[in-house]
Amino acid sequence: MCLAIPGKLIELANENGLLMGIIDVNGSKTRACLEYVPDIKVGQYTIVHAGFALKIIDEEEAAESLNLWQELIESGAFQSDEELPSSEPL
């Protein structure tokens, strides 16, 4: 199952002609292609899926989504042998 997870852009870069960035997803940093959201600025939130930032979202929407994830984890919705959703490490 693939999931889109909100994160905060903390760094911009140009790699081989592509707009890239470092995204902080709940304390875990991951790289993402920003070509779908070229107007994003450091400090803004985005939805990341499969290494691509898909949409700029506001801080309130990001917090709501992350809170829902935390509730799911705390409710035991994930079995101990299931892998929890996470971002790809750098």
Q: Domain coordinates of the chain in residue numbers?
A: 5-75
Alpha-carbon span 30 to 52, nearest angstrom: 10
What's the DSSP call for residue 82? S
Alpha-carbon span 26 to 59, nearest angstrom: 13
What pLDDT digit, counting tens, does each position of 16-58 carry? 999 999 999 888 899 999 999 999 999 999 999 999 999 999 9
Given this structure, which CATH class describes domain 5-75? Answer: mainly beta
Q: What is the CA radius of gyration of the chain?
A: 13
Q: What angle do CA 69, 10, 12 make, to 5 degrees?
A: 130
| Structure-model confidence comparison of residues 84 and 51, the more confident one | 51
Query: Cβ distance 18 to 35 under 8 Å?
Result: yes
pTM: 0.76
